[in-house]
Chain A
Amino acid sequence: EVQLVESGGGLVQPGRSLKLSCAASGFTFSNYYMAWVRQAPKKGLEWVATISTSGSRTYYPDSVKGRFTISRDNAKSSLYLQMNSLKSEDTATYYCARHKDWYFDFWGPGTMVTVSS
């Protein structure tokens, strides 16, 4: 059974950093592109980052480019999201998701990040 479990969320002050983790199991992690998708309170879904199987290629929307970094450790079947220079508009639930083509066939339950002073 495919399982994705996020961790690392919490309350952080504006301008500070936070690193999220996602533990994957039930599939060969190194064979799949992986992604982070977020959902602000009472809002829709927003794609945040994608990483290739080896980690050599990464993709971001303009809203987080230069501030967020996606990475992975295939030996540990883990995905990460380093978030720097956090803003109040980054407040959201962050989901780890597995890519199938360029959509997402499995999602984690999410971890909440609140950016507030």
Chain B
Amino acid sequence: DVQMTQSPSYLAASPGESVSISCKASKSISTYLAWYQEKPGKANKLLIYSGSTLQSGTPSRFSGSGSGTDFTLTIRSLEPEDFTVYYCQHYNEYPLTFGSGTKLEIK
């Protein structure tokens, strides 16, 4: 199975700042990686797929990069609504697995 190691688990930042979240795969997954946003009381939202392609409706301040085993989600100019939890997921093969999540908190 492909293990996804996501870091950091917690991240504190201020509105207007930029942050990056890392996701490392235990073996090469090409660019078969998606990023999701989780908010309390709301359905999970797909942000990015294929490592760097923004899903329709995802604000342009979000970007994804990487291939192989190392991936990064970057959020520029943080907005108040961005302070929540983010997950990565590989889809290179079954079983599909997720990272452990990153909680982005307001500093």
Are A44 and B91 in touch, CB under 8 angstroms? no
A95-115 interface (Cβ within 8 A of B): 95, 97, 100-109
Secondary structure of the B contact surface, majority rule: loop
A97: nearest residue on chain B (CB-CB)? Answer: B44
Cβ–Cβ < 8 Å partners of A109 in chain B: 41-43
Are B91 and A103 in touch, CB under 8 angstroms? yes
Q: How large is the interface on B (under 10, 10 to 19, 20 to 34, 35 or more residues)?
A: 20 to 34
Cβ–Cβ < 8 Å partners of A97 in chain B: 44
Query: Which of A44, A61, A105 interacts with B46 by CB under 8 Å?
Result: A105
Q: A45 interface residue, CB < 8 Å from B?
A: yes
Q: Bound state CA distance, A59 and B89, in angstroms?
A: 17
Interface hub of B42, B94, B99 (most chain A Cβ within 10 A) = B94
Are A44 and B101 in touch, CB under 8 angstroms? yes
Q: How far is the CB of B43 from chain A (nearest CB, A)?
A: 4
Q: How large is the interface on A (under 10, 10 to 19, 20 to 34, 35 or more residues)?
A: 20 to 34
Are B44 and A107 in touch, CB under 8 angstroms? yes
B96: nearest residue on chain A (CB-CB)? Answer: A47
Are B95 and A44 in touch, CB under 8 angstroms? no
B: residues with CB less than 8 A from A are: 32, 34, 36, 41-46, 49, 55, 87, 89, 91, 94-101
A: residues with CB less than 8 A from B are: 4, 44-47, 50, 59, 61-62, 95, 97, 100-109
